[in-house]
Amino acid sequence: MRPFYIALLSFLVVLSACSGSGKRDKSLVPDSVGNINALQVVIPNDLWNGTVGESIRNNFAAPTDGLPQDEPLFSINQMQPEIFTGFARSNRLFLYVVLSEDNTVKLATNEYAKPQTGAIIKATSEEKLVELINENAQKIIENFYKSEISERQRRTKLSLLKTDTLAKVMGVRLEIPSAYRLAKATDSFFWYRKDLDDGTTNILVYEAPLSFIENDSTAIGDIIKIRDSIGSKLLPVEDDGLFVTEGAYAPYLFKTTIDGLFAYETKGTWEVKGAWMGGPFINFAVKDEKNNRYLILEGFSYAPAARKRDLQFELESILELAKVEKLEKK
């Protein structure tokens, strides 16, 4: 094919990817790829190996809350800007950091693939790059988090477990992957679990009186008290051990909403007293006034040989999507 026709064909391909306004049509971008919480950092090697790279690692590879061992918020892969072309642009999360003539921070959605969330930081000096990274990291991380939660929930929806009985008995609907099974159910307690190569991930649903949390200052203690009571009574442990909250480290407490309802979110670690067993948990105490209760949604992992970040992230994505319904009087 002669050079003229090659150039003409290339022009037509570019033109076809543009809208009538001359802007690129993002609906035509390819599907994104990547593991959950995998972040592509596009930055020159000299910046990556200096203070700019250090500020990126301090923010985006900071330890994840509530895990027994340090695991980074994101699994980072660094790439030079000149390599960031073609398929290399299809990662679901990217952070692009370069020196420039301007100081700018831009959040990008579906820029090179879909779904995709990116952030582009440009500055006139390394010092300014560090400043912009530190000032905007939290906002960028929140956008990355929302993107990955949505992707994890999309994957869950591909194959769901039937949970009609849970909705009827407990007044809550959960979208749980079909890889889970119902391990135990009563008129006030449901336990789902998924078997791993070495361990399990688990979902608990139970309830407590509205009066059980007195106020914000007592919330952590009250939540620990009820979860230890439930765990020690209803979760079977060998050799008469007790499934309780690990006492050496104070859990993290946040305020959030589930299905529009106020909720306390607690992240911490559990243990079996008298045994070398433990792992992370996430607990949502949902203030469900229409049913006169706190609805407790909890996910915990037991996987001694595995990293726990993405196991807990899956559980968090399931529980965050809970739908609370009005119960008929029991």
Transcribe 60-93 into DSSP letters: HTSBPTT-SS--BSSEEEEE-GGG--GGGGGBSE
Find out whether 310 and 152 touch, Cβ atoms under 8 Å: no
Q: What is the pLDDT of residues 105-150, one digit of tens each?
A: 999 999 999 999 999 999 999 999 999 999 999 999 999 999 999 9
What residue type is 123 in one-letter code? A
pLDDT at 272: 72
Residue 276 has pLDDT above 80, yes or no: no
Q: Would 130 be classed as within a structural domain? A: yes
**Residue 53: CA count within 13 A, CB half-sphere:** 16
Whole-number Å distance between alpha carbons of 318 and 130: 35
Residues 262 and 315 in one domain: yes
pLDDT at 87: 94
The residue among 130, 156, 182 that closes a domain is 156
Model confidence at 250, in pLDDT bands (50, 70, 90)? confident
Residue 321 has pLDDT above 80, yes or no: yes
- End-to-end alpha carbon distance in the chain: 77
Neighbours of 200 (CB within 10 A): 16
The residue among 109, 127, 156 that closes a domain is 156
What mean pLDDT comes out for the span 77-95? 97
Token pair for 200: 């399990």
Model confidence at 16, in pLDDT bands (50, 70, 90)? very low
CATH of the domain at 38: 3.30.379
Q: Is the dihedral of CA 74, 66, 69, 299 positive or negative?
A: negative
Neighbours of 326 (CB within 10 A): 8
In this structure, of 26-30, 76-80, 125-129, 166-170, the range with the lowest mean pLDDT score is 26-30
- % of the chain with per-residue pLDDT over 70: 85
pLDDT at 245: 67
Average pLDDT over the chain reads 88
Residues 177 and 318 in one domain: yes
Residue 258 has pLDDT above 80, yes or no: yes
pLDDT at 27: 63
Q: How far is CA 273 from the centre of its chain?
A: 29
What mean pLDDT comes out for the span 144-159? 96
Residues 133 and 215 in one domain: no
Residues 152 and 170 in one domain: no
Q: Would 314 be classed as within a structural domain? A: yes
Residues 279 and 296 in one domain: yes
Residues 81 and 145 in one domain: yes
264 contact partners, CB below 8 Å, separation of at least 6: 213, 219, 223, 253, 254, 255, 256, 283, 284, 285
pLDDT at 14: 42
Split into its structural domains, the chain has a count of 2
Residues 170 and 319 in one domain: yes
Residues 169 and 109 in one domain: no
pLDDT at 10: 42
Tell me whether the omega of the peptide bond preceding residue 63 falls within 30 degrees of 0, making it cis: no
Q: Would 5 be classed as within a structural domain? A: no
The residue among 127, 156, 185 that closes a domain is 156
Model confidence at 282, in pLDDT bands (50, 70, 90)? very high
Whole-number Å distance between alpha carbons of 205 and 166: 9
Residues 133 and 247 in one domain: no
Find out whether 42 and 94 touch, Cβ atoms under 8 Å: yes
Residues 266 and 311 in one domain: yes
pTM: 0.86
What mean pLDDT comes out for the span 77-104? 97
What mean pLDDT comes out for the span 80-96? 96
Q: Would 92 be classed as within a structural domain? A: yes
Place of tokens 């807990």: 312
Residues 138 and 199 in one domain: no
Residue 1 has pLDDT above 90, yes or no: no
Neighbours of 233 (CB within 10 A): 10
161 contact partners, CB below 8 Å, separation of at least 6: 176, 177, 178, 180, 181, 192
In this structure, of 14-18, 31-35, 253-257, 281-285, the range with the lowest mean pLDDT score is 14-18
- % of the chain with per-residue pLDDT over 90: 74
Q: Would 9 be classed as within a structural domain? A: no
Domain limits at 110?
A: 18-156
Whole-number Å distance between alpha carbons of 219 and 326: 25
pLDDT at 242: 58
Whole-number Å distance between alpha carbons of 205 and 305: 26
Q: What is the pLDDT of residues 175-224, one digit of tens each?
A: 999 999 999 999 999 999 999 998 999 999 999 999 999 889 899 999 98
Residues 219 and 237 in one domain: yes
Neighbours of 307 (CB within 10 A): 14
